[in-house]
Amino acid sequence: MTILQSLNNAYNRLAARGEVAPFGYSPEKIGYVIELRADGTMRGKPTPRGPVIKSKQQPEIMVVPKPNKTRTSGVLPFFLWDKTSYLLGITDKPLHQIPDEADRLKADAKARKEHQAFIELNLMLLSSANEPGLCAFIHFLKNWQPENFDQWRWPEEMRGANIVFSYDQGEQVYIHKLPEAIEIWSSQFDGQNVSEGQCLVTGRVGKIAATHNLIKGVPGGQTGGSAITSFQQEASRSYAHEQGENAPVSEVAMFGYTTALNHFLRRGAEGQRHPNKIQVGDTSVVFWAEAPDPELAEIAESAFPAFMSEPPNEESEAKKIGRVLEAIRSGTVDSLEPKLQTGVTFNILGLAPNAARLSIRFWLQDSFGTFVANYQRFLSDMALEPHDERDPHPALWKLLRETAVQGKAENVAPLLAGEWLRAILTGGRYPLSLLSAILTRIKADGEINTRRISILRALLIRNFNSKEAPVAFDPDNENRGYLLGRLFATYVKIQEDALGKDLNSSIKDKYYGSASAQPRKVFRLLDSGSTSHLSKLGKDKPGAKVNHERLLAEIMGHMSPAGDPFPASLSTEEQALFGLGYHHQRGHFFKARPATSPETEA
């Protein structure tokens, strides 16, 4: 199934539940409502709509008639609602606040032109209207003058806002929701089509969309929206077809897939992300489930962001998916409910901005159980001891920050987030740019933490099929990269025990980068420096000196006895093992020792 087919199916399910606008309509931000009497006069001043957040009036989201053409330039009036320049003929900014006379005249003329177009369109569509509410709206259009706005002292905050109308017919109803208004709009919606043809999405014959609605809500994309399907350049056309004729998609299917995608990408109240979207680096990831049982689909959709991004905040949500989340993170795919494994088809779409269009980073469609199994394999790759007890399952965005300068999300390399997430979900090889990014950050800032070493281990397991990348400390591992990492950690510990940890610049700060890349240049110097540190320990802590000397001898004993034990350079794979060996040896130093009796001590 293609992306557009799956999104169109998602739209049909959302529309059946009343969560998205019907064909020919769209959710828009409405700032004010004007209440009309039967003769078209206003009943009081316009009423603001929407909640008040932080002492500021916010618009209300309403489903209103929307043409199948995006208003980017030129004059395009809407049906029964619009912003004030079209609906009332007033400028977005008071004329007296525009200093230049030429600009003033231009702005005023533009508003009047837009207002005239609004009147002509609406009077034409309502020429045979009979419902009292629509007749009242006709009277308003015929009698309204732009000068009334200032004369009646309507609030200046209205300028530029979207406005709808209401009418009292026993109860207050919105005029654009009247049955006759819906019927009129439905009959007019197909007025700007290229031709009829067979839709590639549904297979049915119908009106073909010349252009497709824009997609909004992808960070970094165009403010007015970006195209996911378009044919603008001549090189993209074939057989002299124009625009949408090159890949015919019906008006209905186009509206369906774009509405569903915009629904998944939109932000909720107070900037909250939609539950079907997560942001991973520069990639916006939307997902939706298909299942005969709606409850199973809802559980899958709730669980995916919880294990990929962050655990749920609400207690009710945590209870609903807690068992599933625990099975995903600590069990096997077999511990999931069988219907959830194979009875749910899961769709994942990764989008990123690309000029005026959207780039599809990946499109994945499989059973929910398959994605869970691949994620569990990722967890297995990332397993490491000692682990971070405060955050044993860090979100992917936190891991990505380990690759960025200063740990800032905006510094994550382009493409890296999408490539890594795709590899996790498909079970493929991780991007090698991830390896170089982690090694570079460790050398640059000297931070050798659990997250970075976990990533290095995952790369060794997945990309290099390494059998020498253990989860926990392995004293018998004879890989030279791992051994050199252990040896370096031992020199660092000797210095700390001899001089204390409060040093302006430690061995790790000075030499980690060169020691992990070119050991021969550094380790002779470190060995020489450790002699003086051990001598000091012999005076203050003779037992510690003996233990360190034994450990140095043990590590050196695992190295090849023939020739120089310190190679001139290490490959990137060996540098990753160097970091793993360093982390394991450091963790082993601080591992709690079992309690002993006085007799054993003696």
- Beta strands (DSSP E) in 545-594 are none
Helices (H), 311-404: 315-330, 338-342, 368-382, 396-401
Please indicate whether residue 460 or residue 238 has the higher confidence score (pLDDT).
460
Exposure string (b/e) for 533-545, b if CB count within 10 Å is 16 or more? Answer: bbeebeeeeeebb
pLDDT at 189: 59
pLDDT at 256: 92
Tell me how far apart the alpha carbons of residues 579 and 384 are, in angstroms, rounded to a whole number. 12
Query: How many residues does this entry show for the chain?
Result: 602
Residue 105 CB coordination number (10 Å): 12
Please enumerate, as own/partner, the contacts of 8-15 that have beta carbons within 8 Å and a separation of 24 or more.
Answer: 8/201, 8/202, 8/253, 8/256, 8/257, 8/260, 9/290, 10/260, 10/288, 10/290, 10/347, 11/256, 11/257, 11/259, 11/260, 11/263, 12/256, 13/290, 14/260, 14/263, 15/256
Got the DSSP string for 9-23? Answer: HHHHHHHHTT-SPPT
279: amino acid identity, one letter: Q
Contact of 290 with 368, CB cutoff 8 Å: no
The H or E element that residue 333 is part of is none
- Split at pLDDT 50, 70, 90, the class of 207 is confident
The H or E element that residue 264 is part of is helix 251-265
The C-alpha torsion from 313 through 318 and 319 to 324, rounded to 10°, is 180
Tell me how far apart the alpha carbons of residues 348 and 418 are, in angstroms, rounded to a whole number. 12
Give the distance, in angstroms, between the CA of residue 466 and the centroid of all CA atoms in the same chain.
Answer: 32
Exposure string (b/e) for 579-591, b if CB count within 10 Å is 16 or more? Answer: bbbbbbbbbbeee
Q: Which of 30-39, 228-237, 477-486 has the lowest mean pLDDT?
A: 228-237
Q: What mean pLDDT is predicted for residues 299-306?
A: 87
Q: Facing residues of 166 across strands?
A: 35, 174
At 222, list the tokens.
């165009």
Tell me how far apart the alpha carbons of residues 36 and 136 are, in angstroms, rounded to a whole number. 7
Identity of the highest mean pLDDT range in 352-356, 357-361, 433-437: 433-437
pTM for this prediction? 0.78
pLDDT at 15: 87
Average pLDDT over the chain, rounded to an integer: 87
| Res. 334: pLDDT tops 70 | no
At 232, list the tokens.
């603008």
CA-nearest of 348, 350, 355 to 220 is: 355
At 373, list the tokens.
């199994």
pLDDT at 230: 80
Count the alpha carbons within 13 Å of 254 in the hemisphere toward its beta carbon.
28
- Split at pLDDT 50, 70, 90, the class of 114 is very high
Q: Are strands 283-290 and 277-280 parallel, antiparallel or unpaired?
A: antiparallel
- Split at pLDDT 50, 70, 90, the class of 594 is very low
Q: What mean pLDDT is predicted for residues 46-62?
A: 86
Please tell me whether residue 4 adopts helix, strand or coil conformation. Answer: helix
375: Cβ contacts below 8 Å, ≥ 6 apart? 307, 308, 328, 424, 425
Please indicate whether residue 382 or residue 209 has the higher confidence score (pLDDT).
382
Name residue, tokens 């039967």. Answer: 38
Tell me how far apart the alpha carbons of residues 348 and 290 are, in angstroms, rounded to a whole number. 12
Tell me how far apart the alpha carbons of residues 156 and 529 are, in angstroms, rounded to a whole number. 76
At 488, list the tokens.
């370096």
Please tell me whether residue 24 adopts helix, strand or coil conformation. Answer: coil
Angle, helix 101-125 to helix 132-143, in steps of 10 degrees: 150
Tell me how far apart the alpha carbons of residues 394 and 270 are, in angstroms, rounded to a whole number. 26
Count the alpha carbons within 13 Å of 203 in the hemisphere toward its beta carbon.
3
Q: What mean pLDDT is predicted for residues 373-396?
A: 89
Tell me how far apart the alpha carbons of residues 250 and 384 are, in angstroms, rounded to a whole number. 52
Boundaries of every domain in the chain: 1-16+193-266, 24-188, 278-445, 480-589
Give the distance, in angstroms, between the CA of residue 426 and the centroid of all CA atoms in the same chain.
Answer: 18
Tell me how far apart the alpha carbons of residues 137 and 180 are, in angstroms, rounded to a whole number. 13
| Res. 318: pLDDT tops 60 | no
pLDDT digits (tens, 9 = 90+) for 534-583: 988 888 888 889 999 999 999 998 886 656 788 999 999 999 999 999 99
CA-nearest of 394, 428, 249 to 308 is: 394
Q: What mean pLDDT is predicted for residues 414-436?
A: 94
Please enumerate, as own/partner, the contacts of 405-412 that have beta carbons within 8 Å and a separation of 24 or more.
Answer: 405/441, 405/444, 409/281, 412/281, 412/282
- Split at pLDDT 50, 70, 90, the class of 596 is very low
| Res. 448: pLDDT tops 80 | yes
CA-nearest of 45, 136, 14, 143 to 89 is: 143
Identity of the highest mean pLDDT range in 183-192, 344-353, 493-502: 344-353
Distances (CA, A) of 46 to 144, 153, 225, 343: 14, 11, 30, 51
| Res. 478: pLDDT tops 80 | yes
| Burial bucket for residue 247 (CB in 10 Å: 0-12, 13-18, 19+) | middle
Tell me how far apart the alpha carbons of residues 320 and 303 are, in angstroms, rounded to a whole number. 9
pLDDT at 602: 31
pLDDT at 17: 86
Longest CA span, the chain: 106
- Split at pLDDT 50, 70, 90, the class of 600 is very low
Contact of 299 with 346, CB cutoff 8 Å: no
At 581, list the tokens.
């060996």
Contact of 285 with 40, CB cutoff 8 Å: no
pLDDT at 597: 41
33: Cβ contacts below 8 Å, ≥ 6 apart? 46, 47, 49, 163, 164, 165, 166, 174
Helices (H) and strands (E) in the chain, counts: 21, 15
